[in-house]
Amino acid sequence: MADEVVTTATTTDAVENPLREGLDVVRTGDPAVMVIFGASGDLARRKLIPALYNLAYQRLLPPGFTVLGYARSPYTDEEFRERARQGILEHSSVNFQEEIWESFAQGLFYMAGPYNSREDFQRLAQRIDELDEARNAHHNRLFYLATPPTVYQVITANLGAVDLARPKEGGWTRLVVEKPFGRDLASARALNDHLLQIFLEDQIYRIDHYLGKETVQNILVFRFANGIFEPIWNRNYVDHVQITVAESIGVGDRGGYYDKSGALRDMVQNHLLQLVSLTAMEPPVAFDAKAVRDQKVNLLRSIRSLEPEEVPDYTVRAQYTSGIVNGKRIPSYLEEPGVAPNSTTETYVAWKLEIDNWRWSGVPFYLRTGKALPKKITEVAIYFRKAPHLLFKSQHHQEELIQNVLAMRIQPNEGISLKISVKQPGPAVHIQPVKMEFHYGSSFGRVPPDAYERLLLDVILGDGTLFTRRDEVEVAWERVTRILEGWRLEEEKAKAEGREFHLPTYEAGTWGPKEADELLARDGRRWRRL
Ligand code: BG6
C-alpha cells in the first residue's frame, strides 16, 4: 500500500470540500522496477526522465525505485545515465542538485535489445529480477511503451510470453501506453483486444498527457467545488463553448509521423475531446477512477455522430503555407521534411460539435486546433447568453458588452477570467467590458508542474482516474472515425468527378483558414480573439 502523508490544509474550507480529499494529500508510492521501452528516444529524454527526477527532487519517489531503459541503441548503464543527466539539465523544471542526481542515477540502468526477440525478453525478465532483489523493489513492475506504436503489439506479446505481464506474488504489474492509441476505431479496438489478452484493464494506463495538466484537472474542481457555476452550466444559460488548442510551432522534424496522422488524430481524438468531456460531463458520484470515467464516457457517447455527408458542414480542415510566426519564417507544410509532396494531411481542424443530452442540447461546442498559428495557447471559453433585456440601447458594441465569457486558460499563463460589463466612471452611462481574473502563477507563486510528473506518480500509486479507459478511447475514435470517413468521401467524390481536391490553406502565423471563420459566421458567431 502507498504511504500517505497528510499535509496541513492551507484554506479553512479545505476539510468541507470533498473534491480536495486526496488532492491535499502528498503521496509516495511503492518501490518498483520501471522498464522504459524506447528509452533512447525523445519522449524518455525530454519528458519521462526529467519528470522522474522532479519527483525524486520532491521526495515523491520511493527509495528503491529503479528505471531500466530498454531500446535497440547499444548504450551502457553509464552512457544512459549521461543522456538522462543531459535530459534533466535541459528539460527539468526544478534545480539540478548533485546529491539528488547521485541517488537518482544509482537507480538508472540500461539494456540494449530488439523488441521482437523472445530470448532477449527472457534476458530482460532475468535483469528485472536481479534489480528487484538488489534494490528491494517488492516485485512491483511498471512497463512504459515509449516506442513508436508499430511495436506495441510485439513488445506486449513478448511480455506475455515470458510471463512478465502477470503480477508476481505480493507485487503489482502495470503497463503504460502512450498515444497514438490506434489510428481509427478498428485499429484502436484491435489494440485493445490484443492488450486485454495479455493484461487486465486495470493494469493498463493509457496516457493522455492533457489530463496530467493541473489546469485541466482544475476544470473539475472549478465546476464541482464551487456552488455558483454549476447551476448555470447548461443550455439555459450557456450560448456556446469555444475550445482552442493553438500551437505556434510547425511540424518541424516530426513530418514523417505527422503526415500519417494529422491534427484530427494527433490532437482532437484525444486532447480536445478530453477537454470537451471534462467541461461538459455530469457530476460524478465520487472523485475516483470509475465514477469520473463513467461520466466522461457518458458525455462522449452523447456527442452527435456525424453522417459522412454531413461532415463538410460541421468540420473544416486546412494546411499551413509558408509564413512568419514569432518573427521567424516557417516553410509551408508541404515543404517540411518527411511530408509527401501532394499530402492532404490537415494541420488545422475546426469542428462544430453538438451534444445530444438534456444539459447541452442546442449549445454548440466549437473546437479548433492547429500548428503554425500565431501563438501557443489552450483555453476553454464558455459564452453565456446575453442579458434578456437591453437597458443600455445607445451604447456602441452593445452586442459584445453583454455577453459574459468565462475563459479557463489551460496554458500558458494558467488561470481563469470572467468578462463582465461595468460602467465607466463619469456622468454618462458608458459601458466597458472588464475581466475578473485568477492567475495560477500569482496566486500560488509557482508554475504548474509538468503533466508527466503527476501522471507517473499516479501510475506508481495505482490511481487510474487521469487515464483513459477502453470504452472512452473507443467512443472517441468512433466519433472521429466518422469525420475521417467523411473527409475520405469528399476526396473520392472530387476524384470521381474529375476534379482535383483542394484542401483549404492558411498562412503560417495567422489564425487559420477563412472557412473556419465561415463555420462560426453561419451561426452568427465568431472565434474569440486570443
Ligand atoms: C502531442 C502532439 O500529443 O501534444 C503534438 O502529438 C503536440 O503534436 C503536443 O505538439 C502538444 O502538447 P502541449 O502539452 O505542448 O500542449
**Nearest C-alpha to atom 10 of ligand 1 is from which residue?**
247
Q: Dig out the grid coordinates for 464 from the structure.
A: 487510474
Cα–ligand 1 centroid distance for 209 (angstroms): 8
pLDDT band at 394 (very low <50, low <70, confident <90, very high): low
Pocket residues for ligand 1 (CB within 6 Å)? 179, 247, 266, 378
Bridge partners of 355, per DSSP, are 303
How far apart are the C-alpha atoms of 99 and 193, rounded to whole Å? Answer: 45
Ligand 1 atom nearest residue 245's Cα: 16
Cα–ligand 1 centroid distance for 132 (angstroms): 34
C-alpha 370: how far from chain center: 15
Closest among 127, 192, 114 to 164, alpha carbons compared? 127
Look up the pTM and report it.
0.92
Is 50 exceeded by the pLDDT of residue 6?
Answer: no
At 458-517, the pLDDT tens digits run 999 999 999 999 999 999 999 999 999 999 999 999 999 999 999 999 999 999 999 999
At 353-390, the pLDDT tens digits run 999 999 999 999 999 999 999 999 999 999 999 888 77
Ligand 1 atom nearest residue 266's Cα: 6
Cα–ligand 1 centroid distance for 245 (angstroms): 9
pLDDT band at 11 (very low <50, low <70, confident <90, very high): very low
**What is the reported pLDDT for 14?**
30
Is 50 exceeded by the pLDDT of residue 1?
Answer: no
Overall average pLDDT of the 43-57 stretch:
96
240 is catalytic: no
Q: Which residue has the cell 483555453?
A: 379
Is 60 exceeded by the pLDDT of residue 398?
Answer: no
Rg (CA), the chain: 24
Catalytic residue (one of 139, 209, 240, 271): 271
How far apart are the C-alpha atoms of 468 and 274, rounded to whole Å? Answer: 9
Give the largest Cα separation in the chain, rounded.
85
The DSSP line for 307-350 is PGGGHHHHEEEEEEESEEETTEEE--GGGSTT--TT----SEEE
Cα–ligand 1 centroid distance for 147 (angstroms): 16
Alpha-carbon distances of 259 from 187, 246, 448, rounded to whole Å: 18, 18, 32
Q: Is 120 in contact with 114 (CB distance < 8 Å)?
A: yes
At 184-238, the pLDDT tens digits run 999 999 999 999 999 999 999 999 999 999 999 999 999 999 999 999 999 999 9
**What is the reported pLDDT for 399?**
54
φ/ψ region of 341 (left if φ > 0, alpha if ψ in -120 to 50, else beta) reads alpha
Probe residue for ligand 1, chosen from 208, 271, 447 as the CB with the greatest number of ligand atoms within 8 Å:
271
At 306-362, the pLDDT tens digits run 999 999 999 999 999 999 999 999 999 999 999 999 999 999 999 999 999 999 999
Q: Dig out the grid coordinates for 473 from the structure.
A: 478511447
**What is the reported pLDDT for 429?**
79
Kind and range of the H or E run holding 198: helix 185-198
Q: What is the mean pLDDT of the chain?
A: 92
Residue 76 three-state SS: coil
**Nearest C-alpha to atom 5 of ligand 1 is from which residue?**
266
% of residues, the chain, pLDDT over 70: 93
Overall average pLDDT of the 397-401 stretch:
54
- Strand arrangement of the beta sheet that strand 415-423 belongs to: 431-439, 415-423, 405-411, 377-384, 238-246, 365-370, 348-353, 315-321, 505-507
